[in-house]
Chain A
């Protein structure tokens, strides 16, 4: 069952298309990374999923129903642009959002205290938000998003503005929620977070989907590279697309960098070397990082002429 499904969704703001015919599904469970450069349409898509914005075309289903405020707390949302009522206390803030999502005051308070305690804010529950540090306030907002123990957690750039310690805390929370059965959808343009957390990925560029799949499939978008130290030219081995010598030979041994053909398997190359008596002193496999995949898939698409760049940042 999918917890989020978009079918041919387009969102236009006047002459600017923020999301263009986007279709994808997020299956239940796990962590789904929603990746793209700034202005790629991530936030607009998430806002449409939450019914904060309405699509120009297409249909959206969230937890099997059209988007809308269900009032049952099954969706938790942490927006990219964060802010809280400065005069409310940390505890009251989390309780307020819990109650807006349909919790009773007693349940909301119990859950709020538990979350604030877990985030290291037990001593600050009665402190007004304006008296908290930025990091503390962000944790209060995260607690407000999680207070209902939601089935679907949507986090829009959750790591932005957090120091490394708090990023680690957040990563731990995200992993724990996913392990407990919740589905986490989070948008980011920082590939390291996606690499560490995501089971599945969707890459957006200029409002269009450019990739969807797991990390393996993402890395397969770029050829695997090998570094060999051999006496002979490895360019003629099966599955090798190209081979380039790295400097001059030393004692008859030369360093080579090899690009495999699409779909090429490093193991098959090693097997061929062994079978043919192809002498090797080094055999290293370099798999493409998500960052490289991102640059490869998104970089070209984002390099748009300035005249076409959107003038408005509306919901994008």
Chain B
């Protein structure tokens, strides 16, 4: 076997036999597992049941309508996202019915939209439409769990007396579940509307379960207010028919779907994988650069380099190390991407919903080639810097003096690139740093999801390749001139002068 490959294999084995390597390798699976777990742990509590005792008989209907409207808004929002994600609407949106307001993707839905949706049959009709139109491979639409549900007063609840009796009988009911169409739920709010509600000084009594739900309270209150306001207007002599017409007036607007490429959510989803790869590049470089550095310092401090150099040239040793570390990088990335792809198609929930569309950025061969190129080139370009630190250091303590500025010099611009790309992928900072070889891999990988002109990719890639070539020439000289010098200070210039001598 070629000497370089033997050195590479040894380097690879040495690194992959360390505990820190395996811990690092487990980072991505652990992150996915934690995400899954946290999604479950952080899930909002299931909706609650609301019991309304309306002794006037005038308010309950309005409250029910409000709950139905809010639920329809939630369903429409999810249907819009689903239609957009799985391209359900394309290619013939004209075939959709008037109630399929969700088919053009996510947007603000007006009361008219909700009314049309309801008139067309609501969720049941939408699901039937989707069964006909969804592309193969798309999962079934999973409607959001119903939030707040109005339920009939459970047995034992006092409804025909005063608020105090209602409250007293509600308290034990709140400690157990009641049956609802969506399964057993806790009663989150009880509302008692006395028969003389509307008379001066008479109040509706709200009995919360202890969990603050200001939006729910506000929704119910808005409906009560609307009816009482109408009563007041009527009492003032205003023509109720005219009032109904006036209240029904809505400024006519059409909310159109966002233009192609202008959808920030979509853009972010498309950029997620390249951004994640840029981050993983940074992480893996920091880890493997440090492993390589430790290995080189061990070789120098253990005084075994002379034995090795009697068998292989310094260049063989250098390139072997680089091949070995590149192998480690490929293994790490392969494992991470493999785990991500596996998770995308084997787990359910938010993580998979995020990963699956994010992987769509790999559908273009050009992007895949660019990602692989910038990843490997970035790895080489920065690993050489770590190697240089190892070459001029006799111990890890020596190396720290160089490592701190090196790590800061890489991570600070990286963070700036990431922030800039999230705000504006074509902003000046990412574009400028795309032409600085050390930062080009991060900047380009971060920008790839949002589209980079071909000339810029080619130019920046060529510059990076040339930079790596120069790096190798310099590190090769430094390597040869410094390998057998230990315990001698003097810095880089002295080493280069010795090389020249």
A interface, CB within 8 angstroms of B: 12-14, 47, 50-53, 56, 69, 71, 75, 77-88, 96-97, 99-101, 141, 144-145, 312-315
Question: Is the C-beta of B485 less than 8 angstroms from some C-beta in chain A?
Answer: yes
Question: Complex Cα distance A84/B497, Å?
Answer: 30
| B310–A52 touching, CB < 8 Å | yes
The interface centre, meaning the residue of A56, A77, A85, A96 with most chain B CB atoms within 10 A of its CB, is: A85
Question: Complex Cα distance A101/B312, Å?
Answer: 8
Chain A residues with CB below 8 A from B497, complex form = 14
Question: Is the C-beta of B258 less than 8 angstroms from some C-beta in chain A?
Answer: no
| A81–B306 touching, CB < 8 Å | yes
Question: Complex Cα distance A84/B306, Å?
Answer: 10
CB-nearest residue of chain A to B18: A87
Q: A83-B304, A96-B10, A100-B3 are in contact. List 18 more A-B contacts (CB 8 A).
A: A52-B306, A52-B310, A52-B484, A53-B484, A69-B310, A69-B313, A71-B3, A75-B310, A79-B306, A79-B307, A82-B304, A84-B302, A84-B307, A85-B299, A144-B307, A314-B484, A314-B485, A314-B498
B interface, CB within 8 angstroms of A: 1, 3, 6-7, 10, 14, 17, 298-299, 301-304, 306-313, 316, 484-485, 488, 497-498, 501
| B501–A97 touching, CB < 8 Å | no
- The smallest C-beta distance from B133 to any residue of chain A, in angstroms, reads 60
Chain A residues with CB below 8 A from B310, complex form = 50, 52, 69, 75, 77, 79
A14-B498, A69-B312 known; A100 and B306 CB under 8 Å? no
The interface centre, meaning the residue of B14, B301, B484 with most chain A CB atoms within 10 A of its CB, is: B484
- The smallest C-beta distance from B320 to any residue of chain A, in angstroms, reads 10
Chain A residues with CB below 8 A from B1, complex form = 99
Chain A residues with CB below 8 A from B304, complex form = 82-85
| A96–B307 touching, CB < 8 Å | no
Chain A residues with CB below 8 A from B313, complex form = 51, 69
A81-B303, A85-B14, A144-B307 known; A12 and B501 CB under 8 Å? yes
Chain A residues with CB below 8 A from B302, complex form = 83-86
Chain B residues with CB below 8 A from A99, complex form = 1, 6
Question: Complex Cα distance A96/B10, Å?
Answer: 8
Question: Complex Cα distance A140/B73, Å?
Answer: 76
| B308–A100 touching, CB < 8 Å | yes
CB-nearest residue of chain A to B309: A52
| A14–B501 touching, CB < 8 Å | yes
Question: Complex Cα distance A77/B501, Å?
Answer: 25
Query: What are the nearest 8 A-B pairs in CB distance?
Result: A83-B302, A83-B304, A81-B303, A100-B311, A79-B306, A83-B303, A77-B310, A52-B309
Chain B residues with CB below 8 A from A83, complex form = 299, 301-304, 307
CB-nearest residue of chain B to A14: B501
Q: List 8 A-B contacts (CB under 8 A).
A: A47-B306, A69-B312, A69-B316, A79-B303, A83-B303, A100-B3, A100-B6, A141-B307
Of B17, B301, B311, B484, the residue contacting A69 (CB under 8 A) is B311
Question: Complex Cα distance A206/B486, Å?
Answer: 22
Chain B residues with CB below 8 A from A75, complex form = 310
Chain B residues with CB below 8 A from A88, complex form = 10
Question: Complex Cα distance A50/B284, Å?
Answer: 37
Question: Complex Cα distance A83/B302, Å?
Answer: 5
Question: Complex Cα distance A138/B497, Å?
Answer: 34
| B498–A85 touching, CB < 8 Å | no
CB-nearest residue of chain B to A52: B309
Chain A residues with CB below 8 A from B17, complex form = 87
- The smallest C-beta distance from A82 to any residue of chain B, in angstroms, reads 6
Chain A residues with CB below 8 A from B303, complex form = 79, 81-83
| B311–A97 touching, CB < 8 Å | yes
Question: Complex Cα distance A77/B301, Å?
Answer: 19
Chain A residues with CB below 8 A from B311, complex form = 69, 97, 100-101
CB-nearest residue of chain A to B3: A100
| A96–B6 touching, CB < 8 Å | yes
- The smallest C-beta distance from A54 to any residue of chain B, in angstroms, reads 9
Chain A residues with CB below 8 A from B10, complex form = 85, 88, 96
The interface centre, meaning the residue of A52, A69, A77, A100 with most chain B CB atoms within 10 A of its CB, is: A100
Question: Complex Cα distance A18/B498, Å?
Answer: 14
Question: Complex Cα distance A53/B299, Å?
Answer: 18
CB-nearest residue of chain A to B311: A100
A96-B6, A314-B488 known; A56 and B501 CB under 8 Å? yes
CB-nearest residue of chain A to B483: A52
The interface centre, meaning the residue of B17, B304, B312 with most chain A CB atoms within 10 A of its CB, is: B304
CB-nearest residue of chain B to A76: B310
- The smallest C-beta distance from A173 to any residue of chain B, in angstroms, reads 17
Question: Complex Cα distance A313/B485, Å?
Answer: 9
Chain A residues with CB below 8 A from B488, complex form = 312-314
CB-nearest residue of chain A to B305: A83
Question: Complex Cα distance A145/B298, Å?
Answer: 20
| B312–A100 touching, CB < 8 Å | yes
Question: Complex Cα distance A231/B95, Å?
Answer: 140
CB-nearest residue of chain B to A11: B501
- The smallest C-beta distance from A291 to any residue of chain B, in angstroms, reads 28
Question: Complex Cα distance A53/B485, Å?
Answer: 12
Chain B residues with CB below 8 A from A80, complex form = 306
Chain A residues with CB below 8 A from B485, complex form = 314
Chain B residues with CB below 8 A from A315, complex form = 484
Chain A residues with CB below 8 A from B7, complex form = 100
- The smallest C-beta distance from B391 to any residue of chain A, in angstroms, reads 16
The interface centre, meaning the residue of B306, B313, B316, B485 with most chain A CB atoms within 10 A of its CB, is: B306
| A13–B501 touching, CB < 8 Å | yes
CB-nearest residue of chain B to A101: B311
Question: Complex Cα distance A276/B228, Å?
Answer: 156
Chain B residues with CB below 8 A from A50, complex form = 309-310
| A13–B498 touching, CB < 8 Å | yes
A69-B313, A79-B306, A314-B488 known; A86 and B298 CB under 8 Å? yes
CB-nearest residue of chain B to A144: B307
Chain B residues with CB below 8 A from A96, complex form = 6, 10
- The smallest C-beta distance from B394 to any residue of chain A, in angstroms, reads 13
- The smallest C-beta distance from B5 to any residue of chain A, in angstroms, reads 10
Chain B residues with CB below 8 A from A78, complex form = 307
